[in-house]
């Protein structure tokens, strides 16, 4: 048994395949890290935007001393443009397939002659942008749930203590939100690990692309099907590590109990 496993891994063909899969997995990792780094802060911005209560028309009307009476006027005065735009964005991004967003972001600018992606790393940049935007929208809803789940009493307690609004937001609301969102975030992050495989639609050579390449032929090896299925090992290990790390994070944030 051990001998056959050893034989398998010491076979030069296996080593060629594994080194190709490794290089593909590096691309997967890179995409994963960049997406998280971009989407975590952007998601918070979008969630704040979608909770923004600013009503500019109502504000103008109040300063002009107008009291809206008709239904349309009341609606306009209570309209929240920032929130509406953010929710529209979330609807569009969550409502269309990520794979379509990747294709559109990469090919449409060039076809419409707006701009051309650089030929060296344009694919990576386009895929990263698509992933960041997509995941930021999902994250924003998780943040919103976390922020709105903090009891109003907590903010009121902050006010009683004489904290400023900024202090209340960062030191009371955000602090309690972070620990609440870890489980749903973990879910989304594990999904991201596997979603990175969608990037191969525009020929970004991540680990599944590399696995598939040996069916057709790569590095003089063709007609091999096991590398494709072997990529599962990479995903399993990676999501296993992510699960453990996120579990630890959850324990660490186990304050205020």
Question: Which residues are near another protein by CB under 8 A?
Answer: 13, 16, 49, 52, 54, 56, 59, 81-82, 85, 103, 106-114, 116-117, 119, 122-123, 165, 200-203, 205, 212-213, 215-226
Nearer to another protein, 95 or 118 (CB): 118
Cα–Cα distance measured from residue 94 to residue 129, given in angstroms and rounded to the nearest whole number: 15
Q: Minimum distance between the CB of residue 152 and another protein, rounded to whole angstroms?
A: 18
The dihedral through the CA atoms of 23, 29, 35, 41 has a sign that is negative
Q: How far is the CB of 56 from another protein (least distance, A)?
A: 6
When the beta carbons of 40 and 215 are compared against another protein, the nearer one is: 215
Pick 28 or 182: Cβ nearer another protein: 28
Q: Crossing angle for the helix pair 12-50 and 81-95, nearest 10 degrees?
A: 150
Q: Which lies closer to another protein via its Cβ, residue 203 or residue 257?
A: 203
250 neighbors 182 (Cβ within 8 angstroms): yes
Residue 37: CB minimum distance to another protein, A: 22
Classify residue 158 as left (phi > 0), alpha (psi -120 to 50) or beta.
Answer: alpha
Q: Cβ–Cβ contacts within 10 Å for residue 27, how many?
A: 21
**C-beta of 147: minimal distance to another protein in Å?**
17
What is the 3-state composition of the chain as percent helix, strand, coil, each rounded to the nearest 5? Answer: 80, 0, 20
> Shortest approach of another protein to residue 188 CB, angstroms?
26
Q: Which is nearer to another protein, 103 or 246 (CB)?
A: 103
* Cα separation, 139 vs 127, whole angstroms: 18
Q: Smallest distance, Å, CB 92 to another protein? A: 13
Q: How many residues does the chain have?
A: 257
Q: What's the distance, Cα to Cα, between the start and end of the chain in Å?
A: 50
Nearer to another protein, 63 or 71 (CB): 63
């Amino acid at each position: 048994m051990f001998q056959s496993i050893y034989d398998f891994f010491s076979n030069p063909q296996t080593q060629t395949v594994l080194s190709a899969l490794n290089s593909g997995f590096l691309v997967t990792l890179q995409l994963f890290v960049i997406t998280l780094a971009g989407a975590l802060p952007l998601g918070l911005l979008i969630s704040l935007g979608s909770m923004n209560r600013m009503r500019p028309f109502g504000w103008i009307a109040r300063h002009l001393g107008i009291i809206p009476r008709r239904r349309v006027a009341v609606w306009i005065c209570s309209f929240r443009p920032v929130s509406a735009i953010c929710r529209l964005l979330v609807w569009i991004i969550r409502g269309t397939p990520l794979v379509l967003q990747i294709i559109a972001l990469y090919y449409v600018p060039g076809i419409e002659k707006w701009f051309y992606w650089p030929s060296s790393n344009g694919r990576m940049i386009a895929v990263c942008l698509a992933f960041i935007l997509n995941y930021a929208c999902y994250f924003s809803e998780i943040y919103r749930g976390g922020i709105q789940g903090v009891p109003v009493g907590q903010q009121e307690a902050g006010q009683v203590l004489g904290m400023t609004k900024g202090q209340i937001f960062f030191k009371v609301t955000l602090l309690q939100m972070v620990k609440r969102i870890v489980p749903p975030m973990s879910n989304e992050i594990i999904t991201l690990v596997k979603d990175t495989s969608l990037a191969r639609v525009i020929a970004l050579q991540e680990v599944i692309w590399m696995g598939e390449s040996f069916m057709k032929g790569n590095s003089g090896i063709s007609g091999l099907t096991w590398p494709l299925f072997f990529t599962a090992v990479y995903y399993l290990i990676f999501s296993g590590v992510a699960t453990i790390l996120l579990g630890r994070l959850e324990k660490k944030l186990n304050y205020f109990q």
